[in-house]
Chains A and B, each alone.
Chain A
Amino acid sequence: MRSGLVVVVFALVACDGVIVPGPGGGIDGPLPIDPIGGTGGGDTTPGPTPVERACMTRTVATQPLRRLTFEQYQRTLAQLFGTLAPRVLTTSRFPETTLTRGFSADAENNTVNTSQSNAIEDEAERVATVMLADPQPFLRGLMPCTLSTPATDAQVDGCVDAFISSFGALAYRRPTTAAERAIAKQVYTEVRPDQGPAKAIIAVTQFFIQSPALLYRVERGGAAAPLAGLLELGDHELAGRLAFLFTDGPPDAVLTAAAERGELHTKEQVAAQARRLMTNPTFLSTAALFLRDWLHLYEANVGKDAAQFPRYTPAVVQSLEREPLEALRFVLERSDKKLSTLLGGTSLPVDATLAGYYGVTAPGAGWEPTGLPNRRGLLTRASVMAALAKPAQTGTIHRGNFFRHEVLCEPTLTLPPNVDISTPLMGTSNLPTARERLAPTTNSAECRGCHSQINPLGLALEGYDPAGQFRTTENGATIDTSGSVDVGGGQRSFQTGEELAGLIADGRKARDCYARQWFRNSVGRIEMPEDACSIATLQQAFEQSNGDLGELLVAVTQLDTFFYRRSPE
């Protein structure tokens, strides 16, 4: 997937020594620290808490219209076709989602160019062609009436309105309007005379699965919200938000039924559904998609230099792709559900392939928690370290900047205006370790201001080579991975990447950042100033749950940004 990723990587890694903001950059001002539950020191002055300050003006930012991602469209088709889905999901022409920033569901990652518009049309035509090849099972499976085998023309004609209502409601994730039913009925009316009822029904199906009401998550809101200028989302709209957040697909029958009963608009009702959805088998893979996008795990597909890293085999890559999901599964289902365990746990799962790659005794069948020397948590696992490295280089600056910007959510660094980067870099390529190679340039007076914040993180990770293997030397010289970092509460020293991971996992900044990243993922956009209250509230809730991953997601559903939208201008 994501044909554009390679160029994104290119932009980021192209210039060691040049400060490049990471993707997903947004409002990166000082993180609000809650003095009540925080471990990071912070604000001790009397007066309102950071949350109270952020919420002095409660509002929400404009929510852009989001188109379904590739995965969401597949899950929509699966729901629409039910037991017949395997017949139509064999291949897909639907355009893949290309990340240019943030998360897959970001509205800006799912715009539609001409090629993609044509691909959506082709996908609907492809599905229709599958149906045309053997229409009777589809008629019986999709139409909400009792049909004979084969169905008679009269039976199909008599059921078309019911079909449009039921299939349309499922496709649009809400009851259809009379105008929408009329549009669909016109397709049937136009095709039926020349081609018969079966082909006409298939044409209606072809219409529904490329209709903008299916492709786009349209949210209009209804009644005025208690906050000025905002509208409350309706029950079906909240059902959609819940479903896409937790299952990356359309609402299931329980959500839809609750919405139809009008029982999906209070915070309690929404929270109850959120907790239920986290038991859905799809939830885990949905949360793993978050990890994939947050940690840029998709970048692993650029591969490694085969001559240098012969052990980085396709089998290893396959297991590495699964490693984050299995780590998350372990933390959520077999451990304490805490972020500190996901990022700093001493025993996360490996399979036999990865055990061999890491040089430890293989567990039994499947994935089992295994302690790995010189590593803690997911961030120092090979899946992450390899994804953040170049094919033949570790990408010290990139790794450091990524940890700083995406894991700790530190502010974007700004290049001082007086720096002349045309100044020749020192010829350091023959020096043995990254620390020595980078020192002449990044320790200079004009560069030190920024690189003193980036380099320690990247150099700590030099203990993991471009393929994610642990190492202690480079070019025969001992790698110095020591440094210090502020993970919340002041500078802390570390000697190794493993120690760094432990500090990050236990620090307030990582928890606040993780909450911020989930906020970005949930709204599908970069945060805006109007989101300050929601973000501060979310961070506080996460802190008060001691970093409980499940409670964080419930808290996402309790925010103003989840319940309200701005009135259209």
Chain B
Amino acid sequence: MSKKQRIISLAVWLCLILVSLAGVLLTEDSERAETIRETMRDAVLHDSNKISLFGIAEVNPALISAFTVTGILLIIALAIRLFVIPKFKYVPGKFQLLLERLVGFFDGLGTSNSPHRNGFLNVYIFGAGVYIFFGTIFELFGLQAVTSHGIPISLPAPLSDINAAIALGCLSYLVIMSGGIASNGIRGVGKTLKDFSLPISMSFRLFGALLSGLLVTELVYYYSGLSFVLPVVVAILFTLLHALIQTYVLTMLTSLFYGEVSEVHKTKNKKTKTEIKA
């Protein structure tokens, strides 16, 4: 491309940006369906925008997101199972390597943090990690849904709903407790209950991290004038960082606590008795 062509392309690109910006500013509707306060409040509490779940009940949009993410992930997993995995080779290609790294990462994380007992843990953190990562990224696609009041909204990340965060945090705690019971019986329950604040901290960590991303994105998108350039950083970069960090944090904490409570406790007295007998 010559220098002249480059200048023309640059000028056309700038003109397009200015024209679209002018169009957005001139056609901006001053009367919004919700004020910024209502939008922010709804992002936190989900008390006004509900979506009908097959006519059975009205649920938060995040639950619809969760079902959608699950559906998409299971369809992709099924396609991979049917068309990709049977063609796996001993010398892997790029996609095979990616899948192996995905499984290997969570497997290694579970095994290194909980060397005594990790079969179920590895499966759990794999599911949780995939769910958190893809669930968080899901909000980037901006899938639209209509509330029961007829207002169109973009579906949020599932874990930006406190109910989803509590579900995952409590389930993680139960998984940790199950590891303790399986390894140490009643003593394992005691060791797990010692960290009674864990489900709350896990739940609210997830919720807070993802909600903050959602709030910043909502705030930015509320003012259409900020919808240029800034969302590239705010939405994509923050969402990707959230996805990576929260995935790592929850899976790592779960495997760490699981490893701690599932460590087999050896009683010294019994040893000495058996030694004396011997």
A binds B: no
Residues of B whose CB lies within 8 Å of any CB of A are none
